[in-house]
C-alpha cells in the first residue's frame, strides 16, 4: 500500500482511532497521510503524536492525487465537506465514511463518488480491539476492498457485509455495544463495593473476569450458553444469582433494548439523509 495517498477528514475520537489503525496497516507510513482538523489544539496533538501532516481546511491541493478519502466528521457537518469532495476528488478514488446513519446513496449523491465504503467501527479500535462492519458499493475495485480490509483489520476485527440494511442492527449491537459492557462493568463494581470489597479489588476482579471470560469464549467452539451452564452448578451460588436475573427476563429486556437502539438508528439515518440532501440543493 506504499502508493496510497490518504486524507482523513476529522481528527476526533473515531478519526484518531482510524488514523492509529491506518499507521499500523502493512505498507502505510505517516508521510502518506494528511488529516483535516479545524481545532488548533487537536491539530498539534495529532501532528505530534502521529507525525502526519495536519491541515485546518480541505482544499483542492489536499485532495490532489488522493487515492482514498476517509470522512470522520459529524453527519451534520458533512454538507460543506461534500461540496469540496465533489469538486476536487480524483476520479476512481475511494470514499470511506464512518459517519453513523449516512447511506451510500446519500454519499454518492452528495459527492458524485462511485466508489464508496460505509463502515460502522466501534471505540475499542483505539486499543486495536475494535469491530468494524463495512459495506462496499458496486464500483469499489478489488484493490480498494483489500485496502479496506487491511485498514480496519489493523484496528481489530473487520467484517464485510453485503446488505446495507443490516447497519441499524449492527449499530445497536456493536456500535453501541461497548457502552453496554462499560455499564455492566460499572454496575458489577458498584455491587461488589456494596458487598464490602475495596474499590481497587472490586475493579480488578470485575475487569479480569470480563477479560478472561471473553478470551475463553473467543478461543472455544462451545457456545456462550454452554459455558454459562458449566459455571452454573445446581444448587450453587451462580444459580442463586440467576434466579434473581430470570425474574426480570433479562433476555427479553436485551431484545427490547437492541430494538430501541436499532429503531433510533433508522430514524437518525432518515433525518440525516434528508438534511444532507436538502443542504445539497440549497
- The C-alpha cell at 248 is 426480570
Sign of the C-alpha dihedral, residues 204, 209, 210, 212? positive
First-to-final CA distance of the chain: 39
Q: From first to last of its 282 residues, what are the pLDDT tens digits of the chain?
A: 667 899 999 999 999 999 999 999 888 999 999 999 999 999 999 999 999 999 999 999 999 999 999 999 988 888 889 999 999 999 999 999 999 889 999 999 999 999 999 999 999 999 999 999 999 999 999 999 999 999 999 999 999 999 999 999 999 999 999 999 999 999 999 999 999 999 999 999 999 999 999 999 999 999 999 999 999 999 999 999 999 999 999 999 999 999 999 999 999 888 887 777 676 655
59: closest CA among 31, 29, 89? 89
Q: DSSP class of residue 171?
A: I
- 187, 202 Cβ separation under 8 angstroms: no
Distances (CA, A) of 143 to 82, 117, 209, 281: 24, 13, 41, 34
104: closest CA among 31, 190, 166? 166
Amino acid at each position: 500500500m506504499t502508493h496510497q495517498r490518504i486524507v482523513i477528514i476529522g481528527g476526533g475520537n473515531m478519526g484518531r482511532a482510524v488514523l492509529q489503525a491506518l499507521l499500523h496497516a502493512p505498507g502505510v507510513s505517516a508521510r502518506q497521510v494528511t488529516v483535516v482538523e479545524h481545532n488548533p489544539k487537536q491539530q498539534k496533538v495529532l501532528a505530534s503524536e502521529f507525525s502526519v501532516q495536519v491541515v485546518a481546511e480541505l482544499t483542492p491541493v489536499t485532495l490532489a492525487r488522493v487515492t482514498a478519502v476517509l470522512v470522520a466528521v459529524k453527519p451534520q457537518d458533512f454538507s460543506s465537506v461534500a461540496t469540496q469532495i465533489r469538486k476536487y476528488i480524483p476520479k476512481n478514488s475511494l470514499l470511506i465514511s464512518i459517519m453513523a446513519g449516512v447511506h451510500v446513496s446519500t454519499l454518492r449523491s452528495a459527492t458524485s463518488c462511485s466508489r464508496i465504503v460505509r463502515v460502522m467501527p466501534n471505540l475499542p479500535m483505539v486499543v486495536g480491539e475494535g469491530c468494524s462492519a463495512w459495506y462496499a458499493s458496486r464500483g469499489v475495485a478489488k484493490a480498494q476492498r483489500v485496502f479496506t480490509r487491511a485498514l480496519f483489520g489493523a484496528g481489530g476485527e473487520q467484517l464485510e457485509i453485503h446488505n446495507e440494511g443490516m447497519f441499524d442492527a449492527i449499530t445497536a449491537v456493536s456500535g453501541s455495544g461497548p457502552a453496554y459492557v462499560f455499564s455492566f462493568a460499572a454496575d458489577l463494581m458498584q455491587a461488589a463495593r456494596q458487598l464490602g470489597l475495596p474499590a481497587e479489588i472490586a475493579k480488578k476482579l470485575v475487569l479480569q473476569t470480563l477479560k478472561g471470560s471473553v478470551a475463553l469464549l473467543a478461543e472455544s467452539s462451545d457456545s456462550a450458553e454452554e459455558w454459562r451452564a458449566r459455571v452454573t452448578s445446581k444448587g450453587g451460588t451462580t444459580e442463586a444469582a440467576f434466579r434473581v436475573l430470570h425474574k426480570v427476563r433479562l433476555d427479553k429486556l436485551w431484545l427490547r433494548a437492541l430494538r430501541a437502539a436499532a429503531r433510533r438508528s433508522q430514524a437518525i439515518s432518515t433525518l440525516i439523509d434528508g438534511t444532507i440532501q436538502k443542504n445539497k440543493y440549497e
